[in-house]
Structure 1
Amino acid sequence: MRAPFFLFLISCIGIAVALLLPGWSDLLLVAVPMAVAAAVLIAPRPRIAPIRRPPPGKPRAGQPVILDGSNVMYWKTDNPDLGPVRDVIATLMARGLSPSVIFDANAGYLLYGKYWHGNDFAAALNLPDGRVTVVDKGTPADPLILQTARKTGARIVTNDRYRDWLNQFPEARKRGHLIRGGYRDGPLWLDLPKPQV
């Protein structure tokens, strides 16, 4: 017989004695708390799954990559479309990279006829809210894209050459900093190194 069960049984007997025999009511002061404590010890505990942490030395998220959303949305046709942005995000994530997107302020109007906030695009692209930014009206997205890439060490997915910003952001001239892409005879292509097997 387990000790907590034995204590619970003894305390229940003590409660019964205190209730049935006159003059033994003070026994309740000890028997009731003892019964509650024993019941807590006997009650089954919920099983909590262990927290799985990534092995040491492996990063939690992949290398950051920024999509020039307003550029990528024109990759398939002359009309703006969120499909290419989704395709690029899926391809990058499949390669273990961590994409975020920056759009011009008018992207929502071009796509849906109304202003869209970053969280609207995030929901449509199945990304966390903080991973999609829409710049303020009248502000160009290009310098924010370049500045964010510099700050985070990210590469940029775009077919834009950022010629107006090369003096301020010379790293955009470096081979591999800008990832070109598009659609050739149907499937998406990105100028990424082949994955190592």
Structure 2
Amino acid sequence: MVVPVLLLFLSLIGVAVALLLPGYDALLLLAVPCAIAAFILWLRAALSGKKAEPNWILIDGSNVMYWRDNTPQIETLREVIAYLKQHRHTPAVIFDANAGYLLAGKYQDDHIMAKHLGLTEDRVLVVPKGTIADSYLLTVARDFDAPIVTNDRYRDWADDYPEIAAPGRLIRGGYRDGALWLDGMKTPTPA
């Protein structure tokens, strides 16, 4: 984006010189097309809307929902999500199929859980009944090279997913004196 702006600026200086100083009229033949081309380049760069790659982080929803008082609570997940967003992460949550029963007494699909969490549906997955969420979670973490927020160590999966032993891959957390903490992350300062 800097190069098109610089080219536009220099081209406009050339146009100004050609218009203001006698004997430089021929400079208009070069400066005007350059200014138009630089403006088009700047406009394309501005409208391309390139966004930074998401800084993905997965949340083991069925584990994290128990962090406060050892009872399943949607508020705990909301707080963890807010915490991660403050640290410029893009959180996604994966739940066991029974999570809705534990939180609300009835089945809740991706759409409903996403709504409760304030996330888009594409960032929440409730695995199908009879499926182990750990395999989904570990596969997605591998595919996106993302860490997982959980207190589970996934020891049964270590042979199939050796990367979980890497430092920072599994982020432990919980509450101390009523305050949320996550390993390796500083407490966010209030806005």
Query: Does TM-score exceed 0.5, indicating one fold?
Result: yes
SS in 2 for 1:105: coil
> In structure 1, how many angstroms separate the alpha carbons of the residues matched to 2:158 and 2:149?
16
The 1:153/1:60 distance shift into structure 2, 3 A limit, reads closer
Q: Secondary structure at the match of 1:139?
A: coil
TM-score computed with the length of structure 1 as normaliser: 0.68
Whole-angstrom CA distance in 2 between matches of 1:194 and 1:108: 31
Amino acid aligned to 2:110: G
- Among candidates 117, 140, 160, match of residue 125 of structure 1: 117
Normalising by structure 2, report the TM-score.
Answer: 0.70
Deviation at 1:116, TM superposition (A): 0.3
Matched residue SS, 2:91: strand
Q: CA deviation at 1:78?
A: 2.2
Name the CA shift for 1:187/1:193 in 2 (closer, same or farther; >3 Å): closer
1:94 corresponds, among 86, 103, 118, to 86
What per-residue deviation string (whole Å, max 9, x for no partner) do you get for residues 89-148 of structure 1? 000001110000000000001111110001101001110110000001110100110000
- Any gaps of 5 or more consecutive residues in structure 2? 1-45
Within 5 Å, give how 1:47-196 maps onto structure 2. 53=49, 59-61=52-54, 63-194=55-186
Residue by residue over 1:52-96, the C-alpha shift from the partner in whole angstroms, topping out at 9 and shown as x without a partner, is 835xxx6153x1000000000000012211111111100000111
Q: Sort the Cα spacing of 1:52 and 1:187 in 2 relative to 1 into closer, same or farther, 3 A.
A: farther
The structure 1 segments of at least 4 consecutive aligned residues displaced by more than 6 Å after TM superposition are none
Q: How many residues align?
A: 142
Q: Which amino acid aligns with 2:80?
A: V
Q: Supply the AA of the counterpart residue of 1:189.
A: W
Shift, 1:51, TM fit: 5.2
CA-CA distance at 1:194 after TM superposition? 4.0
Considering only CA atoms, is the larger Rg found in Structure 1 or Structure 2?
A: 1
Q: Distance in 1 between matches of 2:107 and 2:158?
A: 30
The code of the aligned residue for 1:173 comes to: A
CA spacing shift, 1:178–1:135, aligned 2, 3 Å: same
Higher helix share: 2
Deviations 1:22-79 (A, max 9, x none): xxxxxxxxxxxxxxxxxxxxxxxxxxxx85835xxx6153x10000000000000122
Unmatched tracts of structure 1, length 5 or more:
1-49
Q: Aligned with 1:77: secondary structure?
A: coil
CA distance in 2 between counterparts of 1:53 and 1:138 reads 42
Letter in 2 for 1:134: V
